[in-house]
């Protein structure tokens, strides 16, 4: 008999098929048992009628516990009332294993308990939906850049120097040297952009964030394009087209998952270019008018970002931050060197900064000066300075935090559910 996956079961109406999976849930009304079976691709209700199957099959069905693994055979029927539109009239059943005392039951559990059982929690319907949306966001991101002739260039994970400040580095022995887990692939993408023109990397990045917030992971994934001969304006345009593309693909292909997550999709449908652009100066004004205690020159906290974003129903670019609070590589505005030609993209509804990026310094002397101001050792960055010696060109790029984007798209307040196995300040298990 043909083994079919539940998400494809509609191609087999009227046929007898075999599905291989696990028992998600079960109801019984004496002479009929309703098995909710999942196989990773979807769920389906299997109906076991006492008068229609062998007595052992009915007894086996009765013995099934939550998450027991089973191979089920039956006839596929259309069923309008079923969420998937189909139902299985069970004819036969093999038990692969009986699961005893599965720790996650349909009742409510605390978050710490669920995170301790993350390896099992991933099987739950809501977590399943989040991971499928994550998969869709990754797919759409790759597609967006591939369609535009960007080349995927992988950045190293073990690196000799910092990209985003020395305070959040994870350090490790590297034979007789010290290595750091990459905070960002950007510096390597700059080298790659000079070789290939338009590039991007997608990989894990690491930051020892010492504060405990709902927006910070120690290990998160970033998608980082870098483009030669691109300025800040072009960089923002690329970002809004990119973000709108991802949202469009999720709306198109993952509407069922968004519904499971009870996401208000009208908020996502509004995300079409152009996105509003405000300067840091204007953002500070908005904050001060709203009673936030912030002075020009200070960085925004999560609460500040929410106040700014709440003024818009699309993501908003905040550009030209003070040079003093941004990374060493950001290009100061030639007209006003106290601010940089960089931008952050803040998601609506209080999900915070999802993208950081901007134009990079292309002048070797200025770059050296900025590195000295940041106390960065020139020898470790000699190769990076080379990029400014041999055919330096204006160039820009950005990094989108995958988990931040997913939290926003799914409507999840905390990043911990957006990644299969979150690394948090107090958690490296499981």
User: Of these, 186, 235, 323, 418, which contacts ligand 4AD (CB under 6 A)?
Assistant: 186
Quote the Cα angle for 417-421-422, to 5°. Answer: 65
Q: Contact letters (x/-) for ligand 4AD, 224-263, by CB under 6 A?
A: x---------------------------------------
Please say which residue, 250 or 424, places its beta carbon nearer to ligand 4AD: 424
Q: Which range of residues in 41-49, 115-123, 235-243, 392-400 is near ligand 4AD by CB under 6 A? A: 392-400
Among 16, 79, 92, 209, binds ligand 4AD (CB under 6 A): 209
Number of chain residues interacting with ligand 4AD (CB under 6 A): 23
Q: Residue 181 forms beta bridges with which residues?
A: 158
- DSSP labels for 188-199? HHHHHHHHHSEE
Q: Residue 356 interacts with Mg ion (CB under 5 A)?
A: yes
Residue of 193, 247, 202 lying closest to 223 (CA atoms)? 202
Cα 153–chain centre separation:
20
- The rounded distance, in Å, linking the Cα atoms of 104 and 379 is 53
Query: In whole angstroms, how close is the CB of 190 to Mg ion at the nearest point?
Result: 17
* Residue 342 touches Mg ion, criterion: CB under 5 A: no
Residue 216 near which of ligand 4AD, Mg ion, none (CB within 5-8 Å, type-dependent): ligand 4AD
DSSP 8-state secondary structure symbol assigned to residue 361: P
Given a contact cutoff of 8 angstroms between Cβ atoms, the answer to whether 141 and 202 are in contact is yes
Among Mg ion, ligand 4AD, none, the one that 9 touches (CB under a kind-dependent 5 to 8 A) is none
Q: CA-CA distance, 109 to 103, in Å (whole number)?
A: 10
Q: How far apart are CA 32 and CA 317, in angstroms?
A: 58
Helix (H, G, I), strand (E, B) or coil at 49: strand
Q: From the CB of 255, what's the least distance to ligand 4AD, in Å?
A: 25
What angle in degrees, to the nearest 10, is found between the helix axes of 280-289 and 302-309? 90
Does position 352 interact with Mg ion (CB under 5 A)? The reply is no
163 binds ligand 4AD (CB under 6 A): yes
Contacts of 223 (CB under 8 A, 6+ apart): 141, 200, 201, 202, 399, 400, 402
Q: Which does 163 bind (CB under 5 to 8 A by kind): Mg ion, ligand 4AD, none?
A: ligand 4AD
409 binds ligand 4AD (CB under 6 A): no
Binder among 394, 404, 406, 409 for ligand 4AD (CB under 6 A)? 404
> Taking Cα atoms as reference points, which of 135, 126, 188 lies closest to residue 160?
188
| Smallest distance, Mg ion to C-beta of residue 344, A | 6
394 binds ligand 4AD per the rule CB under 6 A:
no
CA angle in degrees (0–180, nearest 5) for 71-74-75: 150
- For Mg ion, the binding residues (CB under 5 A) are 356
- For ligand 4AD, the binding residues (CB under 6 A) are 163-164, 184, 186, 207, 209, 216-217, 220, 222, 224, 353-357, 397-399, 401, 403-404, 415
């Amino acid at each position: 008999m043909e083994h079919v996956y539940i998400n494809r079961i509609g191609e087999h109406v009227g046929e007898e098929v075999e599905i291989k999976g696990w028992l998600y849930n079960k109801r019984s009304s004496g002479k009929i048992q309703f098995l909710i079976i999942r196989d990773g691709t979807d769920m389906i209700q299997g109906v076991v009628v006492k008068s229609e199957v062998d007595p052992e099959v009915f007894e086996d069905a009765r013995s099934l516990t939550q998450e027991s693994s089973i191979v089920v055979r039956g006839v596929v029927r259309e069923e309008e009332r079923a969420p998937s539109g189909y139902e299985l009239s069970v004819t036969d059943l093999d038990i692969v294993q009986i699961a005893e005392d599965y720790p996650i039951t349909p009742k409510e559990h605390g978050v710490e308990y669920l995170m301790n059982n993350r390896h099992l929690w991933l099987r739950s319907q809501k977590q399943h939906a989040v991971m499928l949306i994550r998969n869709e966001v990754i797919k759409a991101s790759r597609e967006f850049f591939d369609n535009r002739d960007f080349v995927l260039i992988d950045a190293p994970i073990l690196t000799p120097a910092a990209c985003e400040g020395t305070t959040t580095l994870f350090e490790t022995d590297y034979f007789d040297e010290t290595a750091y887990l990459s905070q960002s692939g950007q510096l390597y993408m700059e080298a790659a952009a000079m070789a290939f023109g338009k590039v991007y990397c997608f990989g894990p990045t690491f930051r020892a964030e010492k504060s405990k917030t709902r927006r910070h992971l120690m290990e998160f994934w970033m998608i980082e394009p870098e483009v030669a001969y691109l300025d800040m304006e072009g960089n923002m345009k690329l970002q809004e087209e990119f973000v709108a593309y991802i949202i469009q693909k999720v709306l198109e292909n993952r509407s069922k998952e968004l519904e499971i997550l009870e996401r208000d999709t009208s908020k996502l449908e509004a995300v079409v270019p152009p996105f509003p652009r405000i300067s840091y100066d204007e953002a500070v004004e908005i904050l001060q008018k709203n009673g936030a205690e912030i002075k020009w020159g200070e960085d925004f906290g999560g609460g500040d970002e929410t106040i700014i974003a709440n003024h818009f129903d699309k993501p908003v670019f905040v550009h030209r931050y003070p040079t003093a609070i941004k990374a060493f590589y950001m290009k100061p505005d030639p007209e006003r060197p106290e601010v940089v030609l960089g931008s952050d993209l803040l998601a609506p509804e209080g999900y915070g900064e999802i993208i950081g990026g901007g134009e990079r310094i292309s002048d070797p002397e200025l770059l050296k000066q900025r590195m000295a101001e940041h106390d960065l050792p020139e020898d470790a960055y000699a190769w990076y300075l080379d990029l400014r010696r041999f055919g330096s060109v204006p160039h820009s790029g950005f990094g989108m935090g995958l988990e931040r984007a997913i939290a926003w798209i799914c409507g999840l307040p905390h990043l911990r559910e957006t990644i299969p196995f979150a690394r948090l300040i107090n958690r490296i298990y499981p």
